[in-house]
Amino acid sequence: MSYPKIHLYPRKEESLLRFHPWVFSGAIASITDGKPQDGDLVEVLDARGSTLGIGHYAAGSIAVRMLSFGRSEQIGRDFFRDRLRAALELRASMGLIRPEGGPATPNTVYRLIHGEGDSLPGLIIDIYGDTAVMQAHSMGMHHSRELIAEALMETYSEAPGLTPPLQSVYYKSETTLPTRDMRELAEDGFLIGHTEASYVWENGLKFIPDWLKGQKTGFFIDQRDNRSLLALYADGRRVLNAFCYTGGFSVYALASGAERVDSLDSSGKAMYLTEQHVALNFGADCPRHHSITQDAFDYLEQMPEGAYDLIILDPPAFAKHRKVLRNALIGYRRINSQAFRKIAPGGIVFTFSCSQAVSKEEFRLAVFTAAASSGRRVRILHQLTQPVDHPINIYHPEGEYLKGLVLYVE
Ligand code: SAH
C-alpha cells in the first residue's frame, strides 16, 4: 500500500528517531504522491528519502501523528489488534483487571488506550466492565473507528480469562474531535452491541459510569490511585470533597471511616451522581454524607475555620490553553489559600490540577503562594500524578497532565 509522502527538512527527523509521535507543520519541506486530507494515512520521510514511519495527517500545527516508526507498514485491523493486545497485557500485568468473586477486591474499570502513551495518538479507550467507550481526538482515529471496534472485540475474545467479557463498543467523540465541522460529522452511539450502564467495580467500590452524558468517557478513572491514597488518611476525619463530580473521593472516604463527608459541586447533576454512588455503596440513608450544591469559590470563602480535617480540591481544567494560564493560576491560588487558611490544625489537603497547559512547577508555585499567604506551616507529604493505565511516553512529556500534592497543615 502506498501513501502520500511527507518529506521533512534536514534534521527535522531527530525527534521522530526518538519516538516523539508528532510532526509539526513547520518541519515539512514538501508533500508528494498525492494531496492528503485530514485523517488520511501518510508516509513520513527524512530529507534523504528514508522512511521514518506512518501516521495520520491533519491540517493544523500538528500535521502528523505517528502510528508506527521505521519501515512502512499496513495500518489495518491487525495493526490495531496488536496495539490493543499490548495495552491489555500491560494493564493485566499491573493487576488492574480483577473480576468480581476472585481473591482480590474487584476492579473492572480501567483505561485501555491512553493516546500517545499507548502508541495510538488521538485515541482513548476506557473499559467499564462489559462495555468499551472509545473517544477519537483526531480525524484519523475517527475514520478508523469501525476497524478499531472490531479489533477490540477480537482482542478481548482472545483473552477469555477477563470477566465480564466485552459485549459492546460505544463511540463518544461528539465533543472531542478538533474542529466544529468534524464534531458535527461524528455521531455518538454503539458501534458494536448494546449495553445498559450498570455498576462497575473500582478497588471493591461500586460506581456507575455515565457514558451517554457524563464528562470524559463517563468516569474520572485517572484519580483511582489518588482516591486509594485518600482512603489511608480519611479515617475519623471530617472531609470536604470540593468539585466532587461523581463523588469518587467521597465514596472512598466514607468507606475508610471518615467521620463526616461533605461533597461540594456547583452542578446539580454532579450532586445527583454523587448521591447515587453513596447510596449504591452505603445504602439510601448515609448520615455521614452531606451534599452541598454551591459554587466552590463562594463556599470556601464563606466556610468557618476548623470545620474540616481533610479537604480535596479537584477542580476542572482551569486552563485549556497557555493563553489563559494566568487566570488559571489565580484560580488555583484562590481555592488553595482558602483551604490552607480554614483547615483544622493537623489537617490534610489533597490538591490537584488536571490542566495539561499548567506545568508541575507552575502548579506547585501556585500552591506555594497560597500556603505562604495563609501564614500556616505546610509540608508536602506526597506528589501525585496519573496512574499506570494513563502511561506517559517518555519522549512525549505532553502526555503528562494530572498533578497533585498532598499537604500537611500544622
Ligand atoms: N473530582 C472529580 C472530578 C472533578 S471534575 C472526580 O474525581 O471524579 C470537575 C467538577 O467541578 C465538575 O463536576 C464541575 O461541575 C465542578 N465545578 C466546576 N466549576 C465549579 C465551581 N465553580 N464550583 C463548584 N464546582 C465546580
Task: Identify the domain boundary among 170, 202, 234.
Answer: 202
From the CA of 223, how far away is ligand 1's center (Å)? 13
Domain identity same for 95 and 243: no
Q: Which domain holds residue 363?
A: 220-409
Please check whether residue 215 is in contact with residue 223, taking contact to mean a CB–CB distance below 8 angstroms. Answer: no
Residue 289 belongs to some domain of the structure: yes
**Are both 129 and 224 inside the same structural domain?**
no
Residue 60 maps to which CATH number? 2.30.130.10
Asked if 165 and 38 sit in the same domain, the reply is no
pLDDT for residue 185: 84
- Return the minimum-mean-pLDDT range out of 163-167, 362-366, 368-372: 163-167
Beta-carbon-side half-sphere exposure of residue 375 (alpha carbons within 13 Å): 2
Q: Is position 250 within any domain?
A: yes
Distance 379 CA to ligand 1 centre (A): 26
Domain shared by 226 and 131, yes or no: no
Whether 29 and 57 have beta carbons less than 8 Å apart is answered as no
253 and 387: one domain? Answer: yes
Any bridge partners for residue 110, and if so which?
127
pLDDT in tens, 307-331: 999 999 999 998 788 888 999 999 9
Integer Cα distance of 274 and 217 in angstroms: 17
d(CA 78, CA 248): 37
Which protein residues touch ligand 1 with a CB less than 6 Å away?
A: 220, 223, 243-246, 248-249, 265-267, 270, 295-297, 314-316
Q: Are 239 and 308 in contact (CB under 8 A)?
A: yes
Q: Is residue 228 situated within a structural domain?
A: yes
Q: What are phi and psi of 118, to 5 degrees?
A: -115, 25
Local confidence band at 279 (pLDDT 50, 70, 90 cut-offs)? very high
- Residues 254, 232 share a domain: yes
User: Between 323 and 354, whose confidence is greater?
Assistant: 354
Answer whether residue 380 is part of any domain: yes
Neighbours of 334 (CB within 10 A): 17
Distance 247 CA to ligand 1 centre (A): 10
Indicate if the pLDDT at residue 163 is higher than 90.
Answer: no
Asked whether residue 207 is assigned to any structural domain, the reply reads no
Residue nearest to atom 9 of ligand 1 (CA): 316
Q: How far is CA 394 from CA 19, 124, 185, 280, 400, in A?
A: 9, 18, 34, 39, 9
Same domain? 180 vs 324: no
Computed over every residue of the chain, the mean pLDDT equals: 96
In a domain, 146, yes or no: yes
Looking up cell 478481548, which residue turns up?
156
Phi, psi of 391 (to 5 degrees): -65, 155
Q: What cell numbers appear for 281 in the block?
A: 455503596
210 in a domain, yes or no? no
Confidence of residue 132 (pLDDT cuts 50, 70, 90): very high
Is pLDDT at 77 greater than 90 in this prediction?
Answer: yes
- The grid coordinates of residue 196 equal 445498559
pLDDT tens, position by position, 218-271: 999 999 999 999 999 999 999 999 999 999 999 999 999 999 999 999 999 999
State pLDDT tens for residues 3-17: 999 999 999 999 999
- Ligand 1 atom 3: the closest Cα is on which residue? 245
Cα dihedral 144, 148, 149, 151 sign:
positive
User: Looking at the structure, do residues 50 and 88 belong to the same domain, yes or no?
Assistant: no
- Distance from the alpha carbon of residue 293 to the mean position of ligand 1, in angstroms: 11
Whether residues 155 and 273 share a domain: the answer is no
At 175 the pLDDT is: 92
359 and 249, same domain (yes or no): yes
Predicted TM-score of the model (pTM)? 0.96
- The answer to whether the CB of 24 falls within 8 A of the CB of 63 is yes
Last residue of a domain, one of 202, 237, 258: 202
Residues 178 and 241 grouped into a single domain: no
CATH number assigned to the domain comprising residue 155 = 3.30.750.80
pLDDT, average across residues 281-307: 97
Mean pLDDT of 356-383: 97
Please report the DSSP string for 106-149 in residue order.
Answer: PB-EEEEEEGGGGT-TTEEEEEETTEEEEEESSHHHHHTHHHHH
**Number of domains comprising the chain:** 3
Q: How much of the chain is in helix, strand and coil states, percent to nearest 5? A: 35, 25, 40
Q: How far is the CA of 241 from the centre of ligand 1 (A)?
A: 10
Residue whose CB lies within 8 A of the most ligand 1 atoms, among 265, 302, 334, for a mutation test: 265
**Same domain for 352 and 238:** yes
**What CATH number should be reported for the domain holding residue 347?**
3.40.50.150
What is d(CA 327, CA 360) in angstroms, rounded to the nearest whole number?
16
Residue 91 in any domain: the answer is yes
Contacts of 201 (CB under 8 A, 6+ apart): 98, 100, 105, 106, 107, 108, 109, 129
